[in-house]
Chains A and B, each alone.
Chain A
């Protein structure tokens, strides 16, 4: 008894000492990139393919090119389980290891990281998630939300609706339903949809889904049957999406009028509905499929060598490709930072500058092997999202296909709302630092 107690104590002591010693990475010949992922927990279904995509792209860069600009990337994944407490721990670890960029990968984690990052000087890349207001670079110099925000997404949904109906003036008197997760993430599009509804004379109906009832949406869809909205926009996540698709089919809602935000566009989400899910739509900003040189390179250098965690058939799925896209943005930001600063091993401050002047043109995408995989992305000093284009993807029964052209968000409507919200944020967070970082001359 005594002996085991002592041993237990010793083991615990060693552990404690170990965790106290998580020390800054000393290696100067590599760039440390921290990245959150959630391969566990209730949202792991979406988190796993994204995590695989992000990881594989960096492994591929290291294998094929020997890193970025000749510097190896030390890519480390931190498991959050989509839990804010764990993501704060991950943030602290990333900070202690001098990460050059931090991808929080959940709205809650982003919100918690934003105030810290402005003190710790760590750029945050919340790729099309997080706080929409952070697109205002004037108030949030350290947060980046490319290629577009949820508010842009909602405005694209309205444009899509208008396109199908035959013009913005046809929106009058229509009903748009918003199914959303009953959490800050799900409620993001509400202010924009309400502002647009006022302007164009359509009606917005809200259908909240509590996190505990994600797989139990029966009564909500009865309300949808009663209200008969013309279109439905689904701001859902995780197990909520396949359930919504199934329920739409079950309740006879025309599946072609159900459009999900980009996070509701997983292959598993649509596949759940079986053949009847054909026609389900979601917004998107990356292409699905593996017919791109970049995915082929990943297959060649990573997957075939057994260095990937993803099964081969999952490579090229929509969410996997989105992970690749996220890593591409990080890699491009680092490359751009190397160019601006002239240093090989860049710091967080350099990467922030790199992100702020990020301009990925079509030509550059072609070089990356991503022609047709994504659209051009441009971020500016004041505009940290770029309000870039997105398109509507359609599920054809087996895979996602592009339907219709890339669409610009209604920037004129969204931008003032973002600026107002950013100002409001700075005011409410008393002591919010004024932007001290100068804009790059080139932008």
Chain B
């Protein structure tokens, strides 16, 4: 009744191809953004902001990064965590070398280092395909993780061997370091994620995105149609690693604070991000957000939320139940909707269009 495109005529191709062609969609996105910018800081307390919202945003960005590579270009990567780690370490080194540069700029620039490393490890993708490509990215994962521990220059020869995030302010407001308030960190994350998602949306709907999808659907056919595989695949690696790198830098600087980074960016994280995009929906930006919410936030919410609403579960049992429930939910969702939560979302929208008089 409220959600239909009847009467909204398009007079140009660009209007027809717009990401949000219907005005209801535009209202919807505005409401979500308003909620994110105003609602969450108003309602949520520190606990909610730091343990649910910030992780959600960071993982969403990482999931978008992996989705560009795996969902849009069809190249499986298990090295996401390592590329995130490159971003974190690059950012750390840069804060040491350029202490006066705006930290947000540094977080974005650190993505470029990650992109460079990503291209390097993406080279074998021209020859190796499918699950076999996973080994190339696993090589990146384990090698880089080893380097994070073994090259003391990367962590400034700290005795603790960890990235220690210094205090950095922008316009006098502390952004990173222990004195930064959760709200500030949340806002910085949110702005970065919104801007980068908008960028990603433009990339995947544009010429480059379409060439990626052609490569995904069949790379030989794409090549015959004049798409340069070398460029397309390596660009996918570069853009994907850029997003992962920024997510990694955000993870350490805006969420963890100080962390034993080699332990954080382990293979488990790579798998986690992969879960997110598969559950959320391959080749869908909105799916990346759904996946991140499901995989990263659900266990946290279950662990702390269940006791709060009166279902008492203690320590280890809660953890076991969380594990079992998450496993069962993954299987259940795959059975109900193998194309991920994004597809459910689409179906929901489709149903809404004809509601309340479905034909």
Chain A interface (Cβ < 8 Å from any Cβ of B): 5, 12, 14-23, 37, 39-40, 48, 51, 77-79, 81, 84-85, 88-89, 92-93, 95-96, 107-108, 111-112, 114-116, 118-119, 131-133, 182-184, 187, 191, 210-212, 421, 424-425, 428-432
Surface stretch bound by A, among B193-201, B207-215, B220-228, B309-317: B309-317
What is the size category of the interface that chain B forms with chain A? Answer: 35 or more
A-B contact pairs, 7 of them (CB 8 A): A18-B304, A81-B319, A93-B51, A95-B46, A119-B178, A429-B177, A431-B177
- B305:A84 contact, CB within 8 angstroms: no
- B305:A18 contact, CB within 8 angstroms: yes
Instruction: With A18-B308, A79-B316, A112-B259 as known contacts, state yes or no: A430 contacts B46, CB within 8 Å.
Output: no
- A112:B258 contact, CB within 8 angstroms: yes
Shortest distance in angstroms between B13's beta carbon and chain A's nearest beta carbon?
36
B55 CB contacts on chain A under 8 angstroms = 85
Shortest distance in angstroms between B305's beta carbon and chain A's nearest beta carbon?
4
- A187:B301 contact, CB within 8 angstroms: no
In the docked arrangement, what's the CA distance between A255 and B328, Å?
46
* Residue of A whose beta carbon sits closest to that of B177: A431
- A114:B258 contact, CB within 8 angstroms: yes
Within 8 A of A (CB), among B296-335: 300-309, 314-316, 318-320, 323
Nearest 3 CB-CB pairings of A with B? A431-B167, A184-B161, A39-B316
- A116:B315 contact, CB within 8 angstroms: no
In the docked arrangement, what's the CA distance between A17 and B308, Å?
9
- B306:A15 contact, CB within 8 angstroms: yes
- A20:B43 contact, CB within 8 angstroms: yes
* Residue of A whose beta carbon sits closest to that of B264: A84
Answer yes or no: B45 CB below 8 A from chain A CBs: yes
- A79:B149 contact, CB within 8 angstroms: no
User: Which of B52, B149, B316, B323 is packed against the most chain A CB atoms within 10 Å?
Assistant: B316
Shortest distance in angstroms between A272's beta carbon and chain B's nearest beta carbon?
23
In the docked arrangement, what's the CA distance between A79 and B323, Å?
13
Chain B interface (Cβ < 8 Å from any Cβ of A): 43-48, 50-52, 55, 96, 99, 142, 146, 149-150, 156, 158-162, 164-168, 174, 177-179, 255-260, 262-264, 266-267, 300-309, 314-316, 318-320, 323, 348
Cβ-defined partner of A18 (8 Å) among B260, B309, B314, B320: B309
In the docked arrangement, what's the CA distance between A37 and B314, Å?
11
- A19:B266 contact, CB within 8 angstroms: no
Instruction: With A191-B159, A212-B142, A428-B158 as known contacts, state yes or no: A183 contacts B304, CB within 8 Å.
Output: no
Shortest distance in angstroms between A59's beta carbon and chain B's nearest beta carbon?
13
In the docked arrangement, what's the CA distance between A255 and B277, Å?
49
* Residue of B whose beta carbon sits closest to that of A424: B159
B156 CB contacts on chain A under 8 angstroms = 428
Extra contacts, 13 of them, besides A111-B258, A430-B168 (Cβ < 8 A), are: A17-B309, A20-B43, A37-B315, A37-B316, A40-B320, A79-B315, A92-B47, A108-B260, A118-B178, A182-B146, A184-B161, A187-B149, A425-B159
Instruction: With A20-B43, A21-B308 as known contacts, state yes or no: A119 contacts B179, CB within 8 Å.
Output: yes
Instruction: With A115-B257, A183-B149, A184-B260 as known contacts, state yes or no: A429 contacts B47, CB within 8 Å.
Output: no
B316 CB contacts on chain A under 8 angstroms = 37, 39-40, 48, 79
B159 CB contacts on chain A under 8 angstroms = 131-133, 191, 421, 424-425
B266 CB contacts on chain A under 8 angstroms = 211
In the docked arrangement, what's the CA distance between A397 and B345, Å?
62
In the docked arrangement, what's the CA distance between A14 and B306, Å?
9
* Residue of A whose beta carbon sits closest to that of B266: A211
Instruction: With A21-B308, A92-B46, A430-B99 as known contacts, state yes or no: A15 contacts B302, CB within 8 Å.
Output: yes
- A428:B166 contact, CB within 8 angstroms: yes
- B164:A429 contact, CB within 8 angstroms: yes
- A107:B260 contact, CB within 8 angstroms: yes
In the docked arrangement, what's the CA distance between A191 and B158, Å?
11
In the docked arrangement, what's the CA distance between A212 and B96, Å?
31
Cβ-defined partner of A425 (8 Å) among B99, B160, B179, B264: B160
B142 CB contacts on chain A under 8 angstroms = 212
- A89:B306 contact, CB within 8 angstroms: no
A132 CB contacts on chain B under 8 angstroms = 159
Cβ-defined partner of A111 (8 Å) among B160, B301, B318: B160
- A20:B262 contact, CB within 8 angstroms: no
A131 CB contacts on chain B under 8 angstroms = 159-160
* Residue of A whose beta carbon sits closest to that of B302: A15
* Residue of A whose beta carbon sits closest to that of B149: A182
Instruction: With A115-B257, A116-B257, A425-B158 as known contacts, state yes or no: A15 contacts B305, CB within 8 Å.
Output: yes
* Residue of B whose beta carbon sits closest to that of A88: B256
In the docked arrangement, what's the CA distance between A131 and B159, Å?
8
Shortest distance in angstroms between A57's beta carbon and chain B's nearest beta carbon?
16
Shortest distance in angstroms between B3's beta carbon and chain A's nearest beta carbon?
15
Shortest distance in angstroms between A200's beta carbon and chain B's nearest beta carbon?
21
In the docked arrangement, what's the CA distance between A18 and B300, Å?
11
A20 CB contacts on chain B under 8 angstroms = 43-45, 47-48
B96 CB contacts on chain A under 8 angstroms = 428
A118 CB contacts on chain B under 8 angstroms = 178
- A84:B256 contact, CB within 8 angstroms: yes
In the docked arrangement, what's the CA distance between A14 and B323, Å?
20
- B257:A78 contact, CB within 8 angstroms: no
- B257:A79 contact, CB within 8 angstroms: no
B45 CB contacts on chain A under 8 angstroms = 20, 22-23, 96
Instruction: With A108-B260, A184-B260, A430-B177 as known contacts, state yes or no: A133 contacts B306, CB within 8 Å.
Output: no
A421 CB contacts on chain B under 8 angstroms = 159
Cβ-defined partner of B260 (8 Å) among A17, A95, A111, A116: A111
* Residue of B whose beta carbon sits closest to that of A130: B160
A93 CB contacts on chain B under 8 angstroms = 47, 51, 304
Cβ-defined partner of A39 (8 Å) among B44, B164, B262, B319: B319
* Residue of B whose beta carbon sits closest to that of A35: B315
B47 CB contacts on chain A under 8 angstroms = 19-20, 22, 92-93, 95-96
Cβ-defined partner of A115 (8 Å) among B52, B165, B255: B165
- A22:B304 contact, CB within 8 angstroms: yes
- A112:B256 contact, CB within 8 angstroms: yes
Shortest distance in angstroms between A308's beta carbon and chain B's nearest beta carbon?
13
B149 CB contacts on chain A under 8 angstroms = 182-183, 187
In the docked arrangement, what's the CA distance between A210 and B323, Å?
26
In the docked arrangement, what's the CA distance between A20 and B45, Å?
7
Cβ-defined partner of B308 (8 Å) among A19, A112, A428, A431: A19
User: Which of A18, A48, A118 is packed against the most chain B CB atoms within 10 Å?
Assistant: A18
A14 CB contacts on chain B under 8 angstroms = 305, 309
B318 CB contacts on chain A under 8 angstroms = 79
User: Which of B160, B179, B316, B320 is packed against the most chain A CB atoms within 10 Å?
Assistant: B160
B168 CB contacts on chain A under 8 angstroms = 430
Shortest distance in angstroms between A356's beta carbon and chain B's nearest beta carbon?
21
User: Which of B43, B46, B162 is packed against the most chain A CB atoms within 10 Å?
Assistant: B162
